[in-house]
Amino acid sequence: MYAMLALPLRDTPASLAATSSEGRLRAIYEAHGESLLRFLTKRNLGDVERAKDLLQETFLRAWRHVDDLPDEPGLLRAWLFTVARHVTIDAGRASRIRPAEVGVPDLRAFASGEDPAEQVTAVYTVRAALARLSPAHREILVELFFHDRTPRELAERLGIPAGTVKSRTYYAMQALAAAVEAD
């Protein structure tokens, strides 16, 4: 989508209507892409990468309706900004529904390595806590941390989406932390 920047601008209504769908979308991008990106960046508190993703989604929706878009530049611009606003709202709602992505902590951090007795205690504590977890949680943690599998590899192995592996990891880590606290 960003490769469209090098194309010539055709901003008159007649030239927009006369071109192919692809050419029309390129012209629309040339005319409105930059201002839409600024708008989306402001709506996303300066997060340019997220704004670029939302801009791409906005133009994907425009592409789906390219033959139905208004020819008048003012109406077209209003349509694009309305779609961009709706895309931002939809993305915000979707992010509230999904559990927050968390980095996978390194279980080796439980032991400092300086004191062998402390290391043995940490290993015993983690093993005891793992034993109290559900089989599904234990399987996820063992595969990720002890077998050094990536979430994608584990998802393929278990036949589930990578997002499911990530959410199960999150809940398994919560359960592990609770089990460690209980000791």
What are the distances in angstroms from CA 174 to CA 37, 42, 110, 132, 140? 38, 35, 15, 13, 13
> pLDDT band for position 123 (50/70/90)?
confident
Position 3 scores a pLDDT of 43
Task: Work out the number of other CB atoms within 10 angstroms of the CB of residue 40.
Answer: 25
Instruction: Count CB atoms within 10 A of the CB of residue 151.
Output: 19
Contacts 24+ apart (CB under 8 A), 73-80: 73/11, 73/13, 73/31, 76/16, 76/28, 76/32, 77/32, 80/28, 80/32, 80/36
Of the candidate ranges 21-25, 101-105, 108-112, the one whose mean pLDDT is the lowest: 108-112
Place of tokens 């077998």: 147
Q: Which amino acid is at 15?
A: S
The mean per-residue pLDDT over the stretch 102-125 comes to 69
Q: Does residue 6 register a pLDDT over 60? A: no
Domains of the chain: 7-97 (1.10.1740.10), 107-182 (1.10.10.10)
Rg (CA), the chain: 25
Residue bearing tokens 């960003």: 2
pLDDT per residue as tens digits for the range 154-181: 899 889 898 898 999 999 999 988 888 8
Between helix 73-97 and helix 48-64 the angle, nearest 10°, is: 120
Query: pLDDT digit string (tens) for 46-84?
Result: 999 999 999 999 999 999 999 899 989 899 999 999 999
Q: According to the model, what pLDDT value does residue 14 have? A: 46
Q: Decide: 40 and 84 in contact? Cβ < 8 Å.
A: yes
Long-range contacts of 160-164 (CB under 8 A, 24+ apart): 163/98
CB 80 within 8 A of CB 36: yes
| Range from 33-37, 142-146, 172-176 that averages highest in pLDDT | 33-37
| pLDDT score, position 103 | 65
Q: Is the pLDDT of residue 127 over 90?
A: no
- Asked whether residue 40 carries a pLDDT value surpassing 90, the answer given is yes
**Dihedral of the CA atoms 72, 78, 83, 89 (nearest 10)?**
180
Residue 149 clears pLDDT 50, i.e. is over it: yes
pLDDT mean across residues, the chain: 83
**Whole-number pLDDT of residue 4:** 43
Q: Dihedral angle at the C-alpha atoms of 39, 43, 44, 45, nearest 10 degrees?
A: 100
User: What pLDDT is stored for residue 98 in this prediction?
Assistant: 73
pTM listed for this prediction:
0.46
